[in-house]
Copies of this chain bind each other. A is one copy, B any other.
Amino acid sequence: MLYGGIEAGGTKFVCGIGNPQGEVLDKLVIPTTAPKETLSKVVEYFMQVQSEHSLNGLGLASFGPLDLNPHSDTYGFITSTPKQKWQHVNIKGELEKALNCEIYFDTDVNAAALAEHRWGAGIDKNNVVYITVGTGIGGGALVNGQLLHGLLHPEMGHMRLGENNAKSDFAGVCPFHKNCLEGLASGPAIEAQWGIPAEKLPDDHPAWEMEAKYLAEGIANIILILSPEIIILGGGVMRQRKLFPKIHKHVQALLNNYIQKPEIVENIEDYIVPAKLDKHAGLLGAIALALNEGES
């Protein structure tokens, strides 16, 4: 049983094939340039794959915002992304036409939540939140074992935080929202606040405590609104493992014993955890979408 996956990212597309055990058997990285050029390379890759293997399904995990409403005229489109060339691109439809097969489609972060549920930190949990903290901040979720959609899909990175953590005159780097989580705590936000890229900041720099406070505030709100059974943090910034104990401490302080569950008041280190699939996270997310639909 082989499944294909396409991780569509703002800087690169990752195409590959994997099996139901979550092993990646082949992989190709394609830089994200103009839609026509990038998508034609994706098609070329899977034409080659299809000539050698029979795929049981193909999944596409994409940056967004996306139109995931099957009843909409623009179902399968990337919609209002700041990446101008990719606005209103019918990514699902064009790939399906060229490859002559159905493609299972969702946001990169919903797909990552699904992959962590299947093979990673969220096994045995039916209510999973996955948050990526990198060049942007995004969140996906499984609720009662199903991907969370609704009107659109979660855009957790844009929730508004309190201002008390911020350096006095810093309202974030998000062009849409003052004091939103992504604007205050993404990689570019760290660099904008401190003048140094995150990966060059020393371990004892005050930036890390503030970063943990921002993320904790966002996570506390997610707990109060969505009540997940586990919160999984991935993305480049979260490779800084020193953030985890700080986040745990601040989430407990913010919730202040209001939610009296041992997962939060006692064993929070098993409740807010690093992603396990970080290496192939996006690609495995796409493969998990194909597997998920194949089974449903």
Contact = CB atoms under 8 A, between A and B. Distances in A.
B151 A260 contact: no
Contact of A226 (B217, B226, B259): B226
A276 to B, nearest CB: 20
Contacts of A152: 227, 259, 261
A140 to B, nearest CB: 11
Given A150-B226, A154-B224, A160-B221, 20 more contacts: A65-B259, A139-B225, A143-B143, A144-B144, A148-B226, A148-B227, A150-B228, A150-B229, A151-B223, A151-B227, A152-B261, A155-B259, A157-B224, A158-B258, A159-B220, A161-B162, A162-B162, A163-B164, A221-B221, A222-B225
- A-B pairs, top 10 by smallest CB distance, nearest first, are A150-B227, A127-B150, A143-B143, A159-B221, A176-B258, A80-B260, A162-B162, A159-B224, A225-B225, A155-B224
A132 interface: no
A80 B260 CA distance: 7
Nearest to A127: B150
Contacts of A146: 143-144
State the copy count for this chain.
Answer: 2
Interface of A: 65, 79-80, 127, 139, 143-144, 146, 148-164, 176-177, 179, 217, 220-229, 254-261, 263-264
Given A222-B225, A224-B156, A256-B177, A143 B148 contact: yes
A48 B43 CA distance: 70
Contacts of A161: 160, 162
Contact of A225 (B226, B254, B260): B226
A264 B257 CA distance: 35
